[in-house]
Structure formats: structure tokens, C-alpha cells
Structure 1
């Protein structure tokens, strides 16, 4: 029997992509609210409580309201794509490679990681956990993303104004992603986070520069790379590059992908390193991550339906 899935917020960027990717899969049956019923609290409550799985693709406040509509005795299992529950008690962080596939598979409430934190945590969390980098270093994160991650308003802005090439933001610091970066990275301090949006629909590069010579107890770059390769060995989603190419590219017309590709670059004298993650902000950074968690929660192969 197919698992029933209700996507609350199916008209948004992430929701639309999840609908498109789950619709042809016989393992799942989508519960759909047509027209005005999508915003009818009674209809939403019914769908949220009837579904085997609810995927919330909503702003933070709306996601909290949706969870409140689920009866305490309901068996509905939830995946939330907002930032509302990423550091909340009682929620499992939906990064199977970091928290454990069995943990996600058995969870009742799963919070989908943010796209930028996905790249940062994939690089830093295993190294801090393994003692190769210190938890108390003030890390820096430089990142660029395709504009699709900003929702409909930002998509329209980029597509209507063809002159925008780069949009830096979060300039007041205190970005909402910092809490999950710090918590799930096992860090003492919030990293300095410098996000920007570029003139590409999808795609993302997240970089963590490391002045190894100045970081107490930091392992050499080769040891960092080897540790990441061992940590992600056998993962169908995350790969660690062997080669050190002269350049890395994000292409404006790149197709969707659920892969997460990690790189470690080093100075010839070993004094510095650059950790770089490449991913699709709508793939492993959003809808792909939700589908990966859904697969595990439904007892399926985690890579089912992923674009790998």
C-alpha cells in the first residue's frame, strides 16, 4: 500500500519540486487540496492528520501553525522545510549522513537542514567531531547560491531585472542559519557567515577558509580530506573529490541534482586550506534532502527518486 503524503505549501518553490518528483512514484500517494481549500484551516487540519507523512514547505510561523493543527495522538510524521524547528527539542535534524540514517528513519518529526548549513556542516561537523579541527575556532563561511532559494519575490526580482549579477545580504550579521550551524557543528562560536545570491537559477558553493598555521590543533589538509572521505564512504549522495582542479564552476543552466560534492584544497606549504562544498540549493539543499529523509522514514532506499 502506498504511503500518503500531504505537502502543505505545495505552491512554493520547494513544494512544487517535491510534488513533481513524488507524483510519478508508486510508493507514495499525494493528498491534494484544490483551490481555496489549500488555505482553509479545517481542510488543512484534516489533511495533516490523515496523511502518513506531512511535508511542510511554509514560512516559519506558518510551519509552527501547521504543526499545532496536528493532533497529539496523530500518527502523521512530519518533515519541515522551514527554519522553525532546526534546533528545537523533540525534532530530528534531517541530515542522515551526520545524525545517522537509523535516527532519521525512526523519527516522528524531522527538520530539513538549510541549504547553506548543509554545505558548511558537511565540511566542518565531521572534522570537529573527529578532533581534526577545534570546536572553539571562529570559523568563516563564504557562500553563493542560485536565486531560486530566495522564494518567489527574489526569483521575480532577478528574472525581471537582468542587470543583477550578485546580491550580498545578511550584512547585519545574526543570520537565522547560524543557530543550526553552531548547534549541529558542535561549535562554541557562531561562524562569520557571508551569503550572497548570484545570477543563476540554482546551484551553490559554500567555502570555509582555514588558516591552518594559526588554528590550534588543526590537522594537515591531507588528513582533513582523508577524514571526510572516510566519513562519507559509501554515501550515495555525498562525495569527496580526489583531484584538486584549477577551478570549480557553477553553471547558470545546470540541471537539478541531489549530489553534494566536497573539496579540500591546500597551500603548497600546508599553511592554509580551503574547504568547498558544491550542491544544488533546491536539491540536497531543500527538496532533495526532504525526499531523502522521506525515503528513510518510509523504509525505502534513501536514494530512491534522487537525481544522482
Structure 2
């Protein structure tokens, strides 16, 4: 039995990447609309209701409208927008979030795909909060840089226009009220919003997410080894999330934005200095992979009862 899938917004950056991962998979049947019907409400309603699983690659308001067009009790939804990430009735689509979360996802009808920045942040922070390495009321900050494709068509056009890239590196979110902060706070287990300092780099794709920690000031003074142990234990056996061996990380002097390439992997690292009592926790991912399309396909596989890594680029 095949699973019928409709990608609403399939011609956007994320939608195209999802389509590439689903192409040629015999266990799936893709519902497609002609170009002239993509904005036809009646045609979209029919497609949405004919699907077993819908993947929404739309702006927030359009995603809410699409959900409202579903008038049956069985179509399942994966929303890649920001619209439902902390909404009641929606399950957060990060299977690795905590023990038992993958099972909750498998039983869910409505799944909110995580943002790319929260994916890296939560992968680093959530296990450490659960393990008591980071107190829930600790002031946490997160920074890094992403490829410009994360900004969608407008930013891609800005960087790839006739005038060339407008800059090599741009800090943004300066008002400290970025749309990713609510999900970072909600699912990390932190009592207070993290200080989020994002930036975009002159690279099409790739991402580095960093959480610095002043270990010497933290309760119990956790060691670098205990931080690494908690992360390694949380992701032991994961086919997607890896934690670099502690000794291997100690021998590294740099890490590139494109460390994982155009894959759906998520690589975690613990760097630091034991003498100064400081740590730099880093997540490397593809903002269009595990940060978007790869996550949606992983969630689709879970909802459909298929091998979790089917179609993924690992």
C-alpha cells in the first residue's frame, strides 16, 4: 500500500528539496497540481483532502489557511512554516528531542517541522538540561551563521543578483525577538529565552550553531567530559545525529559552515579549555537538509511507518 503525499508549496526552495528526496520512491505516490492550479483554492482543497500526508512549504498565514481547507479526519500534516511550532495540538517534529518523542510523533496527526536554528540549538541544549548539566534557569546564549538560502527566495535573489553578494557576513535579529526564540525556549526546558545572535554568510547552504558555556560559573562546575558524555549518550545509535569523539574534537582547530555538505546529517562537537573552564558546543548541519527538507522527509517516514532514513542524504 502506497502513502499518498501532497507537497503544498512544492516549487519553493524547501519544497523542491523535499521533492528530490521523495522522487522514485515506490512506497509513495505524489499528488501533483498543474501550474495553473497551484493557486486554485478548489484544486488545492481536493489535493489536501486526497492525501494521506500533506507537507506544507508555505508562509505562515498560507499554512494556516491550508490546514483550514482540510475537512476530513485522517489527512496528516507536516508544516514546515513557523505557524504551528508552539501551537496546541501540534507535535514538534524533532524526533531526537528526548526519549519517547519519536513514538509521540508516530502517533500524531499534526506535526510542526522545526526551524533550522532551533534544530542545532535543541540538539545541543535539550539533553544537557535533561541530564542536569545545564540548570533550567541558566542564562544561555546561541549564535552562529547560516547559508543565505535559509532566507528564502528574496534573500537568494539578494545574494545572487547582478550586483553580486551584498556582504560576506550579516548579523541580524538585533532586536532579540526572532521568530525562532519561542520554540527554542519551549522545547529546551529552559525557564528563560536564550540570547539568540544569528548571522547569515555568503554561502548558499550550510550552518554552524554555537552554544558557549562558562562551565566554571555553573552549579557543580560540569566538566567538558561530562558534557560530552551526556550528548554522546543521548544520540547513541542515531543514524542521523553524531557526536564527534572527544579526542577528535580536541585535535580540531576549525570547523567549516559546510561541514556536513548537502546532507541530512547533524554533527555535534564539544570544544573547550579545561583550564579556563569554558566550552564551545557546536552543531553543524545543512540548513536545507536536517534544518528543513531532510527533517520533513524524516517525519514523513515516521508518520507512514517507513524506515526513518528512507530517501535521506546521509
| Superposition TM-score, scaled by structure 2 size | 0.95
Distance in 2 (alpha carbons) for counterparts of 1:144 and 1:291: 24
Structure 1: unaligned runs, 5 residues or longer? none
Q: Which residue of 1 aligns with 2:42?
A: 42
Distance in 2 (alpha carbons) for counterparts of 1:192 and 1:142: 8
Structure 2: unaligned runs, 5 residues or longer? none
Q: Which residue of 2 aligns with 1:247?
A: 254
1:49-128 matches, within 5 Å, as 49-71=49-71, 73-99=72-98, 100-128=101-129
Q: Is the 8 A contact 1:221 1:270 kept in 2?
A: no
The structural deviation recorded for 1:68 is 0.7
1:121-153 Cα shifts (integer Å, max 9, x gaps): 000001001111111111111110001111011
Counterpart check, 1:298 vs 2:304: yes
1:1-308 matches, within 5 Å, as 1-71=1-71, 73-99=72-98, 100-160=101-161, 161-242=164-245, 243-244=248-249, 245-251=252-258, 255-269=261-275, 271-308=277-314
Q: Once superposed, which parts of structure 1, at least 4 consecutive aligned residues long, lie more than 6 Å away?
A: none
Judged with a 3 Å threshold, the aligned counterparts in structure 2 of structure 1 residues 218 and 135 are, in CA distance, closer, same or farther, namely farther
Q: Is the 8 A contact 1:23 1:29 kept in 2?
A: no
Distance in 1 (alpha carbons) for counterparts of 2:291 and 2:87: 19
Q: Is the 8 A contact 1:178 1:190 kept in 2?
A: yes
Q: Is the 8 A contact 1:14 1:282 kept in 2?
A: yes
The structural deviation recorded for 1:163 is 4.7
Aligned length: 306
Distance in 1 (alpha carbons) for counterparts of 2:8 and 2:195: 33
Q: Is the 8 A contact 2:80 2:296 kept in 1?
A: yes
The structural deviation recorded for 1:183 is 0.3
Moved more, 222-231 or 241-250: 241-250
The structural deviation recorded for 1:120 is 0.3
The structural deviation recorded for 1:284 is 0.4
The structural deviation recorded for 1:172 is 1.3
The structural deviation recorded for 1:219 is 1.9
The structural deviation recorded for 1:6 is 0.5
**SS in structure 1 of the partner of residue 96 of structure 2:** helix
Judged with a 3 Å threshold, the aligned counterparts in structure 2 of structure 1 residues 230 and 47 are, in CA distance, closer, same or farther, namely same
**SS in structure 1 of the partner of residue 219 of structure 2:** coil
The structural deviation recorded for 1:52 is 0.4
1:191-213 Cα shifts (integer Å, max 9, x gaps): 11111110111100000000111
